[in-house]
Amino acid sequence: MRTNCPRDCYDNCGIVVRSGKGGRVIVQGDPDHPVSRGTLCAKCATAYNGVWQDPEARLATPLRRVGPKGEGAFAPISWEDALAETAERTQQVVDERGPAAVLHTHYSGTMSMLAFMFPLRFFHRLGATEVEPDSICNLAGHIAWTYMFGTSVAGFDPRTAADSSCILVWGANPSHSAPHMDKNWLGDFDGSVIVVDPIRTATAARADLHLQPYPGTDAALAFSIAHELGAMAAFDTEFIADHVQGVAEVLPAIETCTPEWGEEQTGVPAGDIRQAARLYAAGPALLWAGQGLQRQPTGANVMRAVGLLPALTGNIGKPGAGISYLNVAAAMLGADFDELSGTSLAQNGAPKVNHIGLAAKLENPERFGALFSWNTNPVASAAEQDRLRSALCREDLFTVVADCFATDTVDYADIVLPAASFLEFDDLTFSYMSPIVGAQQKVREPIGEALSNQEIFRRLAGAMGLDEPELHETDDVLIQRLLDQLDLGLSFAELAERGHVYLGREPVDFFADRRFRTPSGRIEIASDAATAAGLGRAPVPTADAREADGIFRLLSPASQWRLNDSHANDRTIGRRAGPATVTIHPADAADLGIAHGDPVRMQNSAGQLEVEANVADIAPRGVLVSYKGRWPKLEPSGANVNVLHEAISSDIEGCSAVHATRVTLELAQG
């Protein structure tokens, strides 16, 4: 049988399964899938045949807490009891303090459409407060590019690379975060590849040109590339006249940002800045702006500055040109995700809080009386790990966690609800890079009594006496409606037979009409909306200063071996990935008397972490690298890198600037 991988990943691989022993299935790559071409990445191939099908590791029944919060001591209970207790205690909070005192946090544990979005109907109807999910990941970039291009979710179709001469990958690391796009798409590309990343990633090492700026200096870099493009007369004056607003407001700054100035600000040699301008100007050129790029204090400004390059050279809205941040083609082409998530059910304006500062809000007993966490593992992934843990210890915070596994977050729950995995129910998948929709087929029975997210929240709505028909629609109806909206002319069974389908035979170009969904209909370099949000009318050539002596800047991007914190509890993966490390520049290590393999301690106001030193020259001096994705409770120190994640916002208040974490570093004795 065919199915598709719903992880939070650019690739969205096709899968074939064969039946294995004892109700298990053997999970492999689908040879007919254009992105993955018959193989799965090492992490998913391992974990899907490992921990995801391990009945010992999976949550099999609902649980009720029997020990102190955080300890993870539970007794099994029936679904009926779990839902009745959850309904009663949630209703109590609603009655006493209003529905907004119920907080729910969720993200992309699974991104299959129904399991990802349908539960929102319940929370919208309830009137609960939502933790804005993107504020831990990519919200600053979304807001910035929406001001500029009118949308941040219309990306280029990777198939259009056949017409490109250059792909500029800016602040993404596909060698980890999109391994099949990296190997099969970038790897096959005939033109030039430029990578802009403070880390010499595997993608950067293979590129024609690697620009290695100091973190947080990308706006200065973009302006100096723009300077060189101007000097080469590579601006598309006709495109600018017809489709771009506000160029005059950035030209004076561009004029002063020479490549030599850029080198001073960013550490990138002026010659490389000139070379990048030449390769990009040859065009048509694609720009892929990563999500890591904007997790910086000036992240929104950086995104707008980087967006200058396609705007000034007209590299958008024609074959082989374009921009991609997130490409949610299914939504652009008809899938009504507002309907699926029931936004119209929200009667109180769907209140939100952001991730950064969440621990402080959660520890305040006046603010929230109940917490639901589903499809996410904030104790592992969110900021201020120590502070969050103590907030979650509040006895008066009724906490419900739905997950497939007994995560660190589960350990703080009053009630635990076992979620079925993607192998265990039907759904639809989409990629946030390629315009592909896939069938997620039920290929095996659920482990124990696990239920899909959508079934969990249908039943909970029932237990709470909420009877709006939208809260009880069945998966069959929801799936068929999405297929109809996408106008594919396929039933689920037909799609499942094929595995996946491209939305559009030819490469899709969402900007072909060059009508941008901004207030002016043009690309808005200068934006009144941005001014209103306190961002500045136009991007500016900022560069974060180098840290003071003794302070290091810590990057903690996507790990090769884990998908966020998912798969971290797979033993084989744990063995292959080895212990947690921090990569230190050899000169910095020498200064501190640190040798490869030494235990070292990083520390800041949020907490401290001991890991092993990996001495290697992959990032500029003063920059440390320690990949995200470990389960705190499986680490010797009981913490992961987010114990160091201070509540620093980007220029969009409350959005993560995790890649600007600052720490001290020292040898840890014994």
**Whole-Å CA distances, 198 to 118, 172, 215, 589:** 38, 11, 6, 18
**Residue 614 binds what, of Mo ion, ligand MGD, none (CB under 5 to 8 Å, by partner type)?**
none
3 state SS of 441: coil
Scanning 103-111, 122-130, 240-248, 265-273 for contacts with ligand MGD by CB under 6 A, the matching segment is 103-111
Confirm or reject binding of residue 418 to ligand MGD (CB under 6 A): no
Contact range with ligand MGD by CB under 6 A, out of 121-129, 168-176, 310-318, 358-366 = 168-176
Instruction: Residue 628: name the closest of 303, 302, 336, 385 by CA.
Output: 385
- Give yes or no for residue 377 binding ligand MGD (CB under 6 A): yes
Q: Which of 235, 230, 282, 299 is nearest to 258 (CA)?
A: 230
CB of 65 to ligand MGD, least distance (A): 18
Q: Does 402 bind ligand MGD (CB under 6 A)?
A: yes
Is 553 one of the binding residues for ligand MGD (CB under 6 A)?
no
Q: 3-class DSSP state for residue 512?
A: coil
Choice between 115 and 594, CB closer to ligand MGD: 115
From candidates 74, 107, 149, 223, binder to ligand MGD by CB under 6 A: 107
What are the beta bridge partners of residue 555?
625
Q: Pick the piece of the chain touching ligand MGD (CB under 6 A) from 159-167, 246-254, 278-286, 377-385.
A: 377-385
Q: Does 658 bind Mo ion (CB under 5 A)?
A: no
Q: In the complex with ligand MGD, which residue's Cβ is closer, 245 or 604?
A: 604
State both tokens at 441.
Answer: 């087929």
Selected binder of ligand MGD within 224, 291, 581, 650 (CB under 6 A): 291
Strands 192-196 and 166-170 turn out to be parallel
* Distance (Å) of CA 614 to CA 140, 453, 551, 600, 611: 31, 40, 18, 10, 9
Between 518 and 661, name the residue whose CB sits nearer to ligand MGD.
661
Q: Determine the interface stretch with ligand MGD among 253-261, 372-380, 575-583, 593-601 (rule: CB under 6 A).
A: 372-380
Tell me the two tokens of residue 216: 């947080």
Q: Please tell me whether residue 426 binds ligand MGD under the rule CB under 6 A.
A: no
Q: How far is the CB of 556 from ligand MGD (least distance, A)?
A: 4
Q: Give CA–CA dist 663/652, Å, rounded.
A: 23
Shortest reach from residue 406's CB to ligand MGD, in Å: 9
Omega before 632 within 30 of 0, i.e. cis: no
301 binds ligand MGD (CB under 6 A): no
192-196 and 209-211 strand pairing: parallel
Given 27, 40, 137, 665, the residue binding Mo ion (CB under 5 A): 137
Residues in CB range of 368: below 8 A, 6 or more apart? 101, 102, 103, 129, 361, 362, 397
Our finding on whether 328 is near Mo ion (CB under 5 A) is: no
49 binds, among ligand MGD, Mo ion, none (CB under 5 to 8 A by kind): none
Q: How far is the CB of 154 from ligand MGD (least distance, A)?
A: 17
The C-alpha torsion from 354 through 358 and 364 to 367, rounded to 10°, is 30
- Min separation Cβ 474 and ligand MGD, Å: 18
C-alpha–C-alpha distance, residues 66 and 69, integer Å? 9
* Interface stretch with ligand MGD, choices 104-112, 140-148, 154-162, 257-265 (CB under 6 A): 104-112
- CA torsion 86→92→93→95, rounded to 10°? 140
Nearer to ligand MGD, 9 or 350 (CB): 9
Token pair, residue 550, equals 């003794």
User: Cβ contacts of residue 279 below 8 Å, gap of 6+?
Assistant: 165, 166, 192, 194, 208, 209, 285
C-alpha Rg value of the chain to the nearest Å: 24
* Residue 150, contacted partner among Mo ion, ligand MGD, none, CB below 5-8 A by kind: none
424 part of the interface to ligand MGD, by CB under 6 A: no
Q: Which is nearer to Mo ion, 137 or 657 (by Cβ)?
A: 137
Instruction: Report the C-alpha gap between 297 and 535 in whole angstroms.
Output: 12
What is the pattern of x (binds ligand MGD, CB under 6 A) and - over residues 239-278? Answer: ----------------------------------------
The smaller minimum CB distance to ligand MGD, of residues 385 and 518, is found at: 385
Can you tell me which residue has the tokens 């792909």? 167
Range in contact with Mo ion (rule: CB under 5 A) among 11-19, 60-68, 134-142, 548-556 = 134-142
């800045």: which residue's tokens? 273
Among 194, 247, 388, 419, binds ligand MGD (CB under 6 A): 419
Q: Does 565 bind ligand MGD (CB under 6 A)?
A: yes
Which of 385, 566, 583, 604 touches ligand MGD by CB under 6 A? 566
- Would strands 427-430 and 436-440 be described as parallel, antiparallel, or unpaired? antiparallel
By the rule CB under 6 A, 169 interacts with ligand MGD = no
Query: In this structure, are residues 620 and 267 in contact, taking their beta carbons and an 8 Å threshold?
Result: yes
- Least Cα distance to 361 among 100, 608, 85, 121 occurs for 100
If one asks whether residue 559 binds ligand MGD (CB under 6 A), the answer comes out as yes
Q: Which is nearer to Mo ion, 177 or 266 (CB)?
A: 177
- Distance in angstroms (rounded) separating the CA atoms of residues 379 and 362: 13
Q: Which is nearer to Mo ion, 161 or 383 (CB)?
A: 383
Residue 30, helix vs strand vs coil: coil
- Any contact of residue 51 with ligand MGD (CB under 6 A)? no
Interface residues with Mo ion (CB under 5 A) are: 137
